[in-house]
Structure 1
Amino acid sequence: MYRKRKYETGKTPLKQLIMEGSSRVHRCFAFPTDDALEEKTRMNHIYRCCVHSWSWKEDTMLWDTHKDLLRYPAYIDGGGLNEDGWKYVQREVSEHVAHLAPMSTLKARSAEIKRREDGSVEEIMENPTSNIANCILYRKWDSKADAFLLKTYDNLSFIPGRQRKEFLDAEDWKSLQLWFAQRFGCCPTQTQLQARTRIVLQRR
């Protein structure tokens, strides 16, 4: 019924990855967060992903996009990118890595990396300020995710030969979260998963 996850977890079991990732997301709130992205999160337009963190993929896409935009005067202000330029960078990174990154992280990280002769992108700052270890990546809710939540909720609510459950229990929600991660390769926190499911149920 549920597809194999679309990303590699190495030797870490997916359940453990979700648990550790959820703890990491909560720890990240001890550091500054992106107000604009957090507002969209509170409105349930996007969610905080607890199985993805900043990686070489984000570094590579950021470097390529930033360098390319510096060739266009419309995106330049005082030798660097203007706000329109940074918004473009954020969109491009999001489209290629399927996650939204905080604007402050993009700006800080762009000054900390460079492309090597072998084509890889490396960190060049001895004391980087971007704090990518505590950067939350976000992903948009979409119709496929909503349909999955609705169908899976209904399946978990149905007990053959018995009355349908009025509410899911804790183990049900853990299962839904695990199956969501397997299906979409991303995973919201339990709180966000439940909040979005309530919205989907109210809409039908």
Structure 2
Amino acid sequence: MDTVRTLIVEDDVKIAEIQRIFTEKIAHYTVVGIAHTLAEAEEMIEVLEPDLVLLDIFFPDGNGIDLLLKIRATRKKTDVVLITAAKEVEFFQAGLRGGVFDYILKPLVFSRFSATLEKYRTYRNKIKNIDTVDQHDVDRLFGKSRKSAPQQTELPKGIDPITLGKVTEMITGVAPDGISAEKAAAMIGVSRTTSRRYLEYLVSSGLVTADLFYGTLGRPERLYRLKTAS
């Protein structure tokens, strides 16, 4: 099965790293590049010709919607998923008019993210195996690839998607030496037990790493930090 060559376009370095980790956890996907500016993205799209672009909207050097329209104007065989904090309906409408495959709101939750990428790969594999379409094909492709995302049933018991999003967003701002479950709990506004449960879930998902810190007194403490590329 063909690999989906993916370009990440995101100005926040840590969020881009989360997207890279999430993407490479999904079978048949590979990240061919990461652009932190729109200028970099244009160059990479021209050279790398990715199958899929994961695109933010707000950049210091412009608006991601403009890049989307440039991709469409050049008729490149590149699809786009917008991943953004922009909740204004005009951005959502602009994305639809520009032909985006999906629109994902931050903070990212892996189950929602992976559902979109799995749907995209299914759509891509189906469309490449047909030369012409009839109404049945159209209904099948649109109905199965663009319906509303499934509910977060993939998450284990005790993991709420809203809280998980808050924990994921919090960990992106943690210093390289890490943070304890107790300090994370204070930042998020949950109990230490809840904080530890969510952080351990992110460790199991591959987004976060945990190391033991041996202080001068008491038992060693687990410190959590965002996993970075090796």
Q: Fold-level match, TM-score > 0.5? A: no
Name the structure, 1 or 2, with higher relative contact order (CA <8 Å, separation 6+): 1
* TM-score, reference length from structure 2: 0.23
